[in-house]
Amino acid sequence: MITFPNAKINLGLHITQKRRDGYHDIESCMVPIPLCDALEMILDKKSSWTVTGLAVPGDPKYNLILKAEKLLKKDYQGLPRLQVHLHKQIPMGAGLGGGSADGAFALKLMNNLFDLHLDDFFLEEYAAELGSDCSFFIQNTPKIVRGRGEILEPGPVSLQGSYLVLIHPGIHVGTKEAYAGVTPVLPKNSLEEILGNRSRWKEELVNDFEKSVFQAYPEIAGIKASLYQIGAYYASMSGSGSSVFGLFDQKPALLSWPAHYFVYESLL
């Protein structure tokens, strides 16, 4: 079986408080976008793990796909072994949730492959054990996310018909580094209320990570400014960066970006 884990963008991202467990509570609207990896799993007598496309650094045992397999096999003894192949296209460390999507889609794929018949509630519970953003990708529809990202409500927004331009400059912003630059605070206005009025997005739909990340990496701030210059009705850094996206009412005339930038365009 094969599936296509997709990336996400954040419409607004507030860091509301630091938790006793060391994590932070957030508030954001996450929206899936069509930029995808490809994940294939095949039943076999012995396990294997292969990767093509973008390099996936680090020890495979920490990969969320393999952690998802281990998580299910802990509760369901005797499940068959798998050949697992990932073709990686979503940039890593980019604020796009690619690793989280891979883990969540692995859970959904194994649910079908092993005939476990787990509904979304249970898959979201497993996904929350993998990582903070993973639960979002189970239903994979626009959601208001709170807590560590595991508290989900339907998102009152549709980007259908908008044109997306996504730029990743190849800068890695570490999650620890990003959180170190943020002072948690409760937002003054309701996220749902702001999302309901697109004229408020540019000024009020804020990503709390931008202030410190832009100070450290002016190049990222420059990308956001450039997207507004070519007509975006909204532009923002996604997650903790360093990807920046712009939303347009129609396909813009694009600037000439540096050759090392990852540039993705799509009608949503």
Nearest alpha carbon to residue 31 among 266, 250, 256, 216: 266
Buried b / exposed e along 119-128 (16+ C-beta atoms within 10 A): eeeebbebbb
The answer to whether the CB of 208 falls within 8 A of the CB of 239 is no
Q: Are residues 46 and 77 in the same domain?
A: yes
pLDDT (tens digit per residue) in 17-42: 888 777 788 999 999 999 999 999 99
Residue 43 structural domain? 2-154
- Separation between Cα atoms, residue 266 and residue 268, nearest integer Å: 6
The pLDDT, as a whole number, for residue 60 is: 85
Q: Domain containing 173 — which CATH number?
A: 3.30.70.890
Q: Are residues 119 and 197 in the same domain?
A: no
Q: Are residues 254 and 141 in the same domain?
A: no
Give the total number of structural domains in the chain.
Answer: 2
Q: Are residues 95 and 173 in the same domain?
A: no
Q: Are residues 179 and 85 in the same domain?
A: no
Q: Are residues 262 and 132 in the same domain?
A: no
pLDDT (tens digit per residue) in 172-202: 887 777 777 788 888 888 999 999 999 999 9
Q: Are residues 176 and 241 in the same domain?
A: yes
- Which 3 state secondary structure label does DSSP give 98? helix
The reply to whether 8 belongs to the active site is yes
* Domain's final residue, options 136, 154, 172: 154
pTM for this predicted structure: 0.94
Q: What does each C-alpha distance from 223 to 111, 173, 213 come to in angstroms?
A: 40, 15, 13
Q: Are residues 42 and 124 in the same domain?
A: yes
pLDDT (tens digit per residue) in 127-137: 999 988 899 99
Q: Are residues 109 and 198 in the same domain?
A: no
Helix (H) or strand (E) holding 65: helix 64-75
Q: Are residues 88 and 176 in the same domain?
A: no
Active-site annotation holder among 108, 133, 143, 208? 133
